[in-house]
Amino acid sequence: MRRILLIAASLAVLAGPAAAVNPDEQLADPALEARAHRISKDLRCVVCQNQSIDDSDAALARDLRIILRERITAGDTDEQAVGFIVQRYGSFVQLKPPLRGDTIALWFGPLGVLLLGALGAFAYMRARAPQRAAALTADEEAEAARLLKTDEAG
C-alpha cells in the first residue's frame, strides 16, 4: 500500500498542466498551430477566469480556440486575431490586458481595494487608541490639590 501511494505521489508531482486542445482542433500546419498555441496562452477563458483558453476544458474556451485558429488560417496577424476576440468579449478576455482607459480598473482596482482596506484599518485602530487627557489648567490643579489635602486629612 505504501509503495502505491509513493508511486501515485511521484506521478502527481511529475504531471504538469495538460493543454485542453483536442486533436480535432489542431491545425495541420505546425507553424500555424504553434502561433495559435502561443496566442491562446494569453487569452482568458471567460468561464474559468484564471485559466487560459489553452488550458481550459470549458465549451466556450473550445469555441474561442476554434475561432482563433479560423482567424489564423484566414491569414490574420496575431494582433488581428486577438483583436477579433477582444472586440467580441472585451479586454477582460486578455490575461494581460493593455493599460488603457477602459482597463484602468483591471490594473489598479486591486491596489485601490488594498489602500481602502489600509485606510479603514488605520481609522479603526486610531478610534480604538486610548485618548490622552488634556493638561489641567492652573485652577483645576489647585482644585485637585485642595481635594487631595482634604482627602488626606479626613
Domain boundary among 97, 116, 138: 97
Residue 20, pLDDT > 80, answer: no
CATH code, domain with 56:
1.10.8.640
Residue 38, in any domain of the structure: yes
Is 79 in the same domain as 117?
Answer: no
Over pLDDT 90: what percentage of the chain?
A: 28
Residues 62 and 34 reside in one and the same domain:
yes
Query: What is the per-residue pLDDT for 101?
Result: 82
Q: Which of 76, 97, 118 is the last residue of a domain?
A: 97
Question: How many Cα atoms within 13 Å fall on the side-chain side of residue 142?
Answer: 3
**Looking at the domain assignment, is residue 135 inside a domain?**
no
What does the block give as the cell for 108? 489598479
Residue 34 within any structural domain of the chain: yes
- One domain, residues 30 and 81: yes
**pTM of structure:** 0.57
For residue 150, what is its C-alpha cell?
482634604
Q: What pLDDT does 149 receive? A: 86
**111 and 71 in one domain?**
no
Distance CA 94, CA 49 (A): 10
My answer on whether 119 and 79 are in the same domain is: no
Is residue 90 one of the residues assigned to a domain?
A: yes
The parent domain of residue 119 ranges over: 103-128
Residues pairing with 52 in the sheet: 44
pLDDT band at 135 (very low <50, low <70, confident <90, very high): confident
Does the structure show a pLDDT above 90 at 124?
Answer: yes
Alpha-carbon dihedral angle through residues 113, 119, 121, 124, given to the nearest 10 degrees: -140
pLDDT bin (cut points 50, 70, 90) of residue 17 is very low
pLDDT digits (tens, 9 = 90+) for 105-123: 878 889 999 999 999 999 9
Say if residue 72 is in the same domain as residue 117. Answer: no
Cα diameter, the chain: 106
**Domains of the chain: total:** 2
**3 state SS of 131:** coil
15-17-21-27 Cα dihedral, nearest 10 degrees: -80
Average pLDDT, the chain: 82
Could you tell me if 121 and 70 lie in one domain?
no
Which has the closest alpha carbon to 22: 80, 70, 63?
A: 63
